Structure 1
C-alpha cells in the first residue's frame, strides 16, 4: 500500500489552499493606488449553527475617495465574496471590477462617487480563529452593518449608500440590509446590486467533491485536508452548496458514500437551515433591489447532463498508474456513477472508489444548468506545476460547470434548474442577464453599463416606488402596441423609451418631443418578457413588460 500513499500524495499535495480560485481577476486589470487598510468590528455578535457561543465578526476596509472633491459624500460599498484563506486582497477586489481596459470603480470615482472595499480577512476573536472568506454569511453581514453605520456617521451630506455584492457578498448584503429593516436600524441605503449571488444555492460538482475528499482522507495529508476543512467544509460552503458531500457519507465513515443517499443533499445542519432563514428575511423593502448575473437567460446549458468530465489514465511511474473517471450528475430521474477511481500497481488494481448520483424527477443535475460558470482547472490552480495534475487537467473533456445557476442568481424558487426564468417570479426590479453563460462574477462592458446606469440614476432621483405614478404602461401584458400614459401633473419636454430583452440587448428606441399624455408605439416584438426604460432627462423608470 506504500505505492498507493505515494500516489495519492502526488495527486493531492498540489491542491494547496491558496491555489483554489472561484473568482478570477481579469487580465490587464486596473489596480488602485494604495491607501491604508482599516479594521472594523461588528457590534452585533453571531452564534453559528455548530458554535457554543456568539462571536463578533471583523472585517478590513479601504476607502478610495472620489477624484472630484476628495470628500466622502457618495459611498459605494463593494463586498468580498467566497474567499477562504483570504487569497484575494483589497486591491484584488478593486481590480476585479475591471473590463475592456477600464475599471468600473475608476469610472465612478471620476464621477464623484467614493468606493469602499470591505474584505473578509483571517482573524481571531474571543479566542477563536476565523477565516472570514469562508465564515458564516450571517456573521459577515453583522460586519457590513457596522460598516454601513460607520459610513453613515462619517459621510458628508445626506446621499444614501449603494451596496454592490458580488457572489457570496450578494448574500451578505441582502442579509444585512434585511436584518437592519427588521430591527429598525436605518441603513440609509438606496440601491442594492446583487452580482451573480447564490440566492437559491451554489454548486460544485459532487463528483469533484468526492474525489478531493477521498484523496485527502486516504492520505491524511495536512495540506489536502486543509482544502476539505477550510474550503468544502467551511461554514459558508455548507450554507450555500445545494449538494454537499457531507450529506451523502455513510454513518461512521469520512469518505464512503451511503448507497441510499444518491439524490442531491445539502450539508446537514447548515444548508436547509440557512435557506429557511434567508427566505424568512426576504429582501429589503426600502431599497431598490437589482441584479446582474453571469448565467444565460435563454437556457444555454453548461455541457449536458451526465457528460464525462474526465476519463483518463494517469501514469505515476513505471509501475503505478491510476484510472480516474468523473461525470456530471445525470438527466432527470436518472442515476449514474459520478466518481470512479482505480489505483493500479504493476497493472493490478489495489484500491477502488466509486460514488453514485441520481437527479430528481423534476430537473436534470445542476452541474450542466445555465449559470455563471466555475472552472475545474481553476479549482486545481492550473496544476500548480505538478505534472500529474497538469496531465489530469489536459485530459479534461469538460472544464466548466454551473457554479451559480441562473435560477439562483435571479432568486427564483423553481426546482427545475433548466426552466426559462419568469422574471415576474424574481424579487428584483431590474436585471442584467446575458445570452451566454459567463465566468462567475465577470464584469463585461454591458453589465458595467447596467450597474453604472443604476448607480447614476439614483443620484438624480430616488427609488422606483416614487416613480410608480410618473409613467404608466396602460396595458400590460402588451398586445399590438405599447401604450404609455404620462400623468397630467408630470412635465415632460422629451421622453425616450427603450425596450431591452431580459438579457440586456437594446431592441427598440424612440424619442418624443413635447409628447401628449398618451403615446402609442407599434412594435413587432415576439411573445415574452421585456424591460421598458423611460427617460425624461431628469429621471428614469424601468417597467417589466410582457408581450402576448
Structure 2
C-alpha cells in the first residue's frame, strides 16, 4: 500500500561531478541532443489505427455549462445514428480521455472501432447495430481542468436530451479521463437538481482513484524542458491541470524534493469538488471496465531494475532510469546530468512498485527511450498507467491509497466497488485497448 503522508522524492546533487563554469555554447549543445516533442504526448494520442472513419450525421459545437477558474471550456461532439435511425433516438455518449491538445474524433472512432479477435468484431459497429446512436465527445483542450471539461460534458448531455426523439434513457460515460469527466458532470447535475435522464454510466479504464506515470520520467521531462526552454515544452503534459488531477503521485520540477502523493493542489481541489458533487452520480446504473487483470497478476516489470541509460556528447549529457522500487526509504530511481550545468540523483521513499502492477499499461519507458535514442529491453517498454484497483473504483481513500496494488479483485464482494458492476480484462492490456473480453461484456450489459 502507498502512504500519503510519507511517500516522497528527494533529489540530491551528484557529488561525483564537480560543478564548474560552463564553456561557451555548452547549453546549446545539450539542448540540441534533447528531445523536441512534448514528452508522453504521443502515448496519449487519440488516433487509432490508420483507416477511414465514417462521417458523422451531426456535429455539435459545445460550450461548457460553467466556467472554472475563469475559463469556459469548449468541445465538439460527432453523432453517428444507430441502425434504422434517421435522427437521434437512443444516445450513447463516450467522452474522450487524457491527452495533449484537442481531441481527434475520427481517430477516437478508429481506436474504439478497431476489430478485436477472434472474429474481428467492432465495438462501435456492434453498438450501432444494437440501435444506439453513438455520440463521441471531444474537447478543445484535453489537458485542461477536468471540472472545466465536465461543463462541456453537461452541455453535451443537455444537447442529446433536447435533440432526442422519444424518451429512451441516455448511456453516458467515457474513456480514461473522459470517464471521470462524465462522472463529475452527471453527479453535479444531480446535485443541482437537474435531470440528466441517464440510465447507465459507463467508464472505460478510467482512473477513478488515480493513475501513475513513473516519477523519474516526470522529472526527466522537466529536466529536458529546463535545459531546452526554447522548445515546445517537453513537460507541458505533465505540468497540465489534467495531469495534476489524474496522477496519484506528481512532481512539479526536476529538482523538487518533497511529498508526491496528491502533491498537486489541483488534485486535492478536484477530489474536494467531486465529493461536494456527490462523488458518483446516484441515479444511473454504474458499470465499468478495466484493461488490467482482476486476479492480482501483474506484469514482468520487476521493481528497482535499470530500464535504460542514455548518454550523449561523450558522456557530458545523460540519464539513468530505474523502475520504481517497492516502498522502502531513499531508494534510488535514477539520475540526470548535463555537465557542468546539472548532475543529480533521485530517491523515493514509501512509494509502491506501480510499474509492474495489474492495470492498463502505456509504453512510457519505451516512448521516452525512443525519443532519446537509448536502447531498452522489450519487457521494460510498458508500465502500469491505471491500476486495476483504480479502474474498478474500489472503495479506498484516493489520497492515502491504503490498498494492495496486487489485490485479487475476484475475491472481493461487489459492494467493495463504487460501481454496480465491472469487468476486468483477461490479462493486462494496453490502456484504452478494445479487447474481446471487455467489448463483449459491454455489449451484453447494454443489451439487457
Partner of residue 374, structure 1: 362
**Structure 2 partner of 1:474:** none
- The 1:395–1:352 alpha-carbon spacing in structure 2 relative to 1, beyond 3 Å, is farther
Over aligned residues, Cα RMSD in angstroms? Answer: 2.5
Deviation at 1:30, TM superposition (A): 5.9
Determine which structure has the larger strand proportion and give its number. Answer: 1
**What aligned pairs does 1:39-438 form with structure 2 within 5 A after superposition?**
39-47=61-69, 54-86=70-102, 88-97=103-112, 98-100=114-116, 101-121=120-140, 132-223=141-232, 226-229=233-236, 231-246=237-252, 255-258=254-257, 261=258, 264-280=260-276, 281-302=278-299, 303-310=301-308, 312-316=309-313, 319=314, 321-343=316-338, 351-360=342-351, 364-376=352-364, 379-380=367-368, 382-383=370-371, 389=372, 391-394=373-376, 398-412=380-394, 413=396, 414-416=401-403, 417-421=405-409, 422=412, 423-438=414-429
2-structure distance, mates of 1:394, 1:366:
19
Question: Quick check: 1:342–1:353 contact (8 Å CA) kept in 2?
Answer: yes
* Structure 2 partner of 1:14: 36
Using the TM superposition, give the Cα deviation of residue 350 of structure 1 relative to its aligned residue in structure 2, in angstroms. 6.8
Instruction: After TM superposition, give the deviation of residue 268 of structure 1 in Å.
Output: 3.1
Choose 1 or 2 for highest CA Rg: 1
> Structure 1: how far apart are the matches of 2:427 and 2:246?
24
Unaligned runs of 5+ in 1: 48-53, 122-131, 247-253, 384-388, 458-548
Deviation at 1:343, TM superposition (A): 4.4
User: Contact 1:308–1:398 (CA<8 Å) still a contact in 2?
Assistant: no
Report the Cα distance in structure 2 between the residues aligned to 1:139 and 1:372, rounded to whole angstroms.
Answer: 26
C-alpha offsets along residues 400-436 of structure 1, whole Å, 9 cap, x if unaligned? 1111111111112152323333343101121111242
Distance 1:393 1:452, change over 3 A: farther
SS of match in other structure, 1:367: coil
CA distance in 2, matches of 1:323, 1:429: 49
Larger RCO, structures 1/2 (Cα 8 Å, 6+ apart): 2
Partner of residue 487, structure 1: none
Q: Is the 8 A contact 1:66 1:112 kept in 2?
A: yes
User: Offset at 1:322?
Assistant: 3.7
Structure 2, unaligned runs of 5 or more: 1-21
1: CA distance between counterparts of 2:46 and 2:390? 21
Q: Secondary structure at the match of 1:432?
A: strand
Whole-Å Cα distance in 2 between the matches of residues 28 and 57 of structure 1?
29
Scaled by the length of structure 2, what TM-score is found?
Answer: 0.84
CA offsets 1:453-505 (integer angstroms, 9 cap, x no match): 12211xxxxxxxxxxxxxxxxxxxxxxxxxxxxxxxxxxxxxxxxxxxxxxxx
The separation in 2 between residues aligned to 1:19 and 1:55, in whole angstroms, is 23
1:167·1:196 contact (CA, 8 Å) conserved in 2?
A: yes
Q: CA deviation at 1:114?
A: 0.8
Taking structure 1 as the reference length, what is the TM-score of the superposition?
0.70
Q: Report if the CA contact (8 A) 1:314-1:323 is conserved.
A: yes
In structure 2, what is the Cα distance between the partners aligned to 1:34 and 1:243? 39
Once residues 23 and 455 of structure 1 are traced to their aligned partners in structure 2, the CA distance between those partners, rounded to angstroms, is 27
Evaluate the alpha carbon distance shift between residue 8 and residue 376 of structure 1 in structure 2; reply closer, same or farther with a 3 A threshold. farther
SS at match of 1:338: strand
**Count, aligned residues:** 411
1:152-201 deviations in Å (ceiling 9; x for gaps): 11110000111131000000111011111111100111111111111111
2:31–2:227 CA contact under 8 A, matched in 1: no
Whole-Å separation in 2 of the counterparts to 1:40 and 1:313: 45
> C-alpha separation between the residues in 1 aligned to 2:51 and 2:202?
22
